[in-house]
Structure 1
Amino acid sequence: MASLNEQKPDSSPSTLNGGEELVESHDIEKQPSQPAATDSLSKTLTQTIAPDLEQNVSRTATAPTIQGPKFPETDLDQGLVGWDGQDDPENPQNFAPSKKWALLALISAFTFLSPLASSMFSPAVVFMAEEFHQTNETILAFTVSIYLVGYVFGPLILAPLSEIYGRRVVLSGANWFFVVWQIGCALAKNIETLIVCRLFAGIGGSACITLGAGVVADLFPTELRGMATSIWSMGPLIGPVVGPIAGGFLGEEVSWQWIFWLLLIAGGAMQIGIELLNKETYAPVLIKWKTAKLAKELGRADLKSAYDLGSEPLSNSQLLRRSLIRPALLLFKSPIVLLLSIYMSLVYGLLYLFFTTISDVFTSTYGFSVGLSGLAYLGIGIGFFGGLVFIALTNDRIVQKLTAQNKGKFEPEMRLPTMIIFACILPISFFWYGWTADKHVHWIVPIIGMFPFGVGMMGVFMPIQTYIIDCYPAYAASANATLTATRSLVGAFLPLAGPAMFDSLGLGWGNSLLGFLALAFVPIPIIFTKYGKQIREKWPVNL
């Protein structure tokens, strides 16, 4: 397996500090030996996903490569500290596959829980409104969507911090922050307190959504990132669908407060496991620790991290300032990040507009109970799962084939061709669901009509996320923070206009308007597939 991790089509020692080409250099410093618990988890994961992974590995073993050192190595004569050779086992890119997938699974588990919390409260809002005597529909919708406002602010702070202090400590602190604020939500005595607590819970819950992209870049070579991103993306895309199903029954049978108690219990138990098993994966931070350790042991003040080679020395405050503005720089200086952020925001907003109508349509039009109305979300959920499986099984293979056709040279745009097809599938649901619900066709028909949206959304989101990681691997967390913040902003506020729009246009024309809007954005993946490389090279981002 070590030979696989050495195969990489796009990096060289001269580009270790700059922008795009720091592809596989998020490597790890020496860590204590892996606990027995991690070994157990690794074995379990290996047994469940090993066949597919091993097929991927064997295919990759013959993939075209460009020879040459990829990771900076220690050269004490020059005062540089890096890895102890290209095969250094402490480098996360050289970890055993079972260990890599185990670490990713830890992040993915919490990444499922946090988005679950975003929508789990949605069907139980009616019970909270009764208790707090609240009738304003916009305020009630805001108690749900305010959680996503936390997703706007959290990533912009947490992602840069992870690139200074490392993934592990930032993820740990933010996850506990998420868990603690569930207590405030459960004990809230008025709607104002509930809104504030939901906001802070969202800020903490955004860490796993944001840092997952960085962990993928830290651990996996280009040819395995499609599969890795697919596994990590299950939480953010499936969680909001499972949430209403569980929340509807829990709110109806017990109480709306128990939604938050359940999140507290599950989040706390999960985070304890993460504390015990998780490892730091960000190479520059780990080599910085290694440099400090060697400087102390050898009594040398001249030692410098190889990841700092060619960069001016910065104080902690200067480094923090530069890191905090990095997501904004990526948004406004990179047309790639800007346009794809707009497209993802639109699709994400459409998802939450869907959510504003589903519960009401199936309770008022089809006579479902609040609990049963949550099952209507299965149409989108099954679509998500179908799209995820397809992308997971095909994306890396397509990249390998296109790389071979390109004489062994990988280009990030190779992630995008299938996205064109999915972008065309996505609008179908709005016409299908909207008009069948409007005409009161049998309830199974609008539920099936949601399936194409789920498939299309997954087929759009996952290639974009992997593409952004491949374009800016050194700053994958910050780039993903930009995507997360912009789409969450739209997802938080666009649905507030949903009730008024559907009251005015009806379900048929209201959803058709959304469908036409989705169709208008289909050219974006076509443009990036054809001209993405020229755009990327014409507007490079120096961070």
Structure 2
Amino acid sequence: MSEPTHMAPSGDVPALADEIHPQPDTELTHLPSKQKQDASNDPFLVEFAPQWDPLNPKDWPTSRKWSVTDVLSASGFNRIMVSTIMAPALSTIAHELDMSPTESAMALSIYLLASAFGPIVIGPLSEVYGRQSVLHVTGVWFLIWNAVCGFAKTKEVLIASRFLAGFGASSIYALAGGVLGDIWRPEQRGRSLGMYLLIPIIGAAVGPIIGGFMAGRTTWRWMFWSTSMFQAVMVVVSFGVFRETYAPVILKRRAEKLRRTTRDERYYTVHERMEEDRPLVSIMWKALTRPMRLLFFQPLVQTASLISAFNYGILYILLSSFSDLWIKRYNMSVEISGLHYIALASGELAGSTLGGYILDKMYARMQSRNPETDLEPEHRLPLCLPPTILTILGLVFYGWTAQYRIHWIVVDIAAFLVTFGLQLSGLPQQAYVMDVYQEHTSSALAASQFPRSLAAFLFPLFAPKMYEVLGYGWGNSVLALAGLVMGVPATLFLWRWGRRMRMKLLSSY
């Protein structure tokens, strides 16, 4: 390790003095230039070493970074799978618990409604108390309420416990982007984001496959009991593998250790200095309102959220109605209808793999052309346009092949193109938000997740009536037209005006 730039004045702390050094890009951003210079020359400022620091998550060994990413992926797989695993068994559950069609649809989608509200609380909490403790607490919370779903004897208990389980599960939306931003550098963001999203998004498509076989061969309650068992394993693994990644919390612990060991209270971090003399209530209020302030007052978040919310709604229309298509129009069994979700999962798998590769390749190529300057976040946005067009064409293709009952393989190919395009366009959108809001990635992604989850909750509710009135052909053509009118201009707007708006944005503090 290189020699520290600043040594502590006390002679009895040579070992701890090596630890002193925030990431300039995350810790000093909001300080005036004069104050930045004074802070960086202060021997009592606790920050990461500029070249390499074993406690800096961005300097961790690659194996540790992937272990943290894998824990998030596996946890996300289970939590998102639970959102759709009920779909093939809704009629069975409705009959057993005396539920109307609306109530049974509510039992499925209320989980997604909870995931709209959960991140706007959980994301800011992770920026106060750290990612690790929030992940552990919400993991146990989800485990408890998901298990309760399996024991529900009334529709009220099922719906309520689904909402509470969804609230705990939603932490993955709030934490994942923040953790990936904590540990991976921008040039590695494509691969890490693609690999992370690969497993959870597949979970949404695999859920109905597993649910279909369970519904046909055993009680629907095993859908919740089995996923609760898996969650219990993930809780144990996360306690053993997952480490704190949020830089301000890591630096705060380092400063506390220095103050305790040296008995010198002058050691501090930038975040501690910014929050000193502020009551906890004020700190919590500022943190907890941040996602909504970003969503209501930041045009960048509003525009990116609008695009991703519409795409997410399309995905959940597809997920919620796909089984009915095969059962009612193709007269297939529940089990076989579940197997068609492989087409959706394959599209997402291909989109994540190819999208992550393209994202990093494009970054490396553009960085090589301008090695002396940092790339603007807007360079990600042109990658959204081709897959957006592909998604629109795929929706039209899917709708009319399903309308005329074309051979099932053709319909599956069309559905593959839709999920492939959605996943391929979603990666650069999320990377853009992470690049713009590096300090508050969790809050920014929580703000984006709110409309996404509302769309995932609401779109499947009107989908059955839409297909009943318009049919699959015109119904999906209307969705494709809406995607064209909304997605392409919004992306071009961000690409053209994004930098200018970023320069005018007020601090998210």
Query: What TM-score, normalized by structure 1, do the two folds share?
Result: 0.85
**1:527 matched to 2:493:** yes
Change (3 A) 1:72 1:97: farther
**Preserved CA contact (<8 Å) 1:241 1:377:** yes
**1:502 matched to 2:457:** no
Q: After TM superposition, give the deviation of residue 362 of structure 1 in Å.
A: 0.4
**Preserved CA contact (<8 Å) 2:123 2:171:** yes
Q: After TM superposition, give the deviation of residue 133 of structure 1 in Å.
A: 2.7
**Preserved CA contact (<8 Å) 2:384 2:491:** yes
Distance 2:38 2:315 in 1: 43
Deviation readout 1:257-316 (Å, 9 max, x if unpaired)? 000001110010111111111111111011111212211222222321134456664222
Q: After TM superposition, give the deviation of residue 469 of structure 1 in Å.
A: 0.8
**1:140 matched to 2:104:** yes
Deviation readout 1:491-512 (Å, 9 max, x if unpaired)? 1122111111211112211111
Map 1:296-311 to 2 at 5 A.
Answer: 296-309=260-273
**Preserved CA contact (<8 Å) 2:294 2:301:** yes
Query: What is the match of residue 536 of structure 1?
Result: 502
Distance 1:213 1:413 in 2: 18
How many residues of Structure 1 are paired with residues of Structure 2 in the alignment? Answer: 485
Distance 1:525 1:433 in 2: 24
- Pick one of 333, 356, 361 that aligns with 1:397: 361
**Preserved CA contact (<8 Å) 1:74 1:81:** no
Distance 2:424 2:24 in 1: 34
Distance 1:453 1:172 in 2: 35
**Preserved CA contact (<8 Å) 1:413 1:528:** yes
Deviation readout 1:188-220 (Å, 9 max, x if unpaired)? 011111000000110111112220111111111
* Identical aligned residues as a percent: 33
Query: What is the match of residue 439 of structure 1?
Result: 404
Structure 2 SS opposite 1:350? helix
Map 1:48-59 to 2 at 5 A.
Answer: none
Q: After TM superposition, give the deviation of residue 516 of structure 1 in Å.
A: 0.9
**Preserved CA contact (<8 Å) 1:436 1:445:** yes
Query: What is the match of residue 62 of structure 1?
Result: none
Query: What is the match of residue 88 of structure 1?
Result: 53
Deviation readout 1:383-440 (Å, 9 max, x if unpaired)? 1111111111111110121223345321111222211101111112221111111112
Map 1:20-419 to 2 at 5 A.
Answer: 78-84=43-49, 86-134=51-99, 136-309=100-273, 313-409=277-373, 410-419=375-384
Distance 1:119 1:102 in 2: 26
Q: Which amino acid aligns with 1:254?
A: T
Q: Which amino acid aligns with 1:509?
A: W
Q: After TM superposition, give the deviation of residue 346 of structure 1 in Å.
A: 0.5
Distance 2:490 2:56 in 1: 37
Query: What is the match of residue 15 of structure 2?
Result: none
Q: Which amino acid aligns with 1:416?
A: L
Distance 2:110 2:215 in 1: 19
Unaligned runs of 5+ in 1: 3-10, 22-69
Distance 2:25 2:98 in 1: 64
- Pick one of 421, 446, 453 that aligns with 2:386: 421
Unaligned runs of 5+ in 2: 3-21
**Preserved CA contact (<8 Å) 1:81 1:287:** yes
Q: Which amino acid aligns with 1:228?
A: S
Structure 2 SS opposite 1:416? helix
**Preserved CA contact (<8 Å) 1:334 1:541:** no
Query: What is the match of residue 450 of structure 2?
Result: 485
Q: Which amino acid aligns with 1:339?
A: T
**Preserved CA contact (<8 Å) 2:120 2:288:** yes
**1:18 matched to 2:50:** no
Change (3 A) 1:224 1:71: farther
Q: Which amino acid aligns with 1:507?
A: Y
Q: Which amino acid aligns with 1:529?
A: W
Change (3 A) 1:386 1:131: same
Q: After TM superposition, give the deviation of residue 14 of structure 1 in Å.
A: 8.6
Distance 1:412 1:161 in 2: 26
Distance 1:12 1:392 in 2: 25
Q: Which amino acid aligns with 2:408?
A: W
Q: Which amino acid aligns with 1:158?
A: I
Change (3 A) 1:405 1:540: farther
Change (3 A) 1:14 1:350: closer
**Preserved CA contact (<8 Å) 1:429 1:452:** yes
Q: Which amino acid aligns with 2:394?
A: S
Distance 1:210 1:222 in 2: 19
Structure 2 SS opposite 1:79? coil
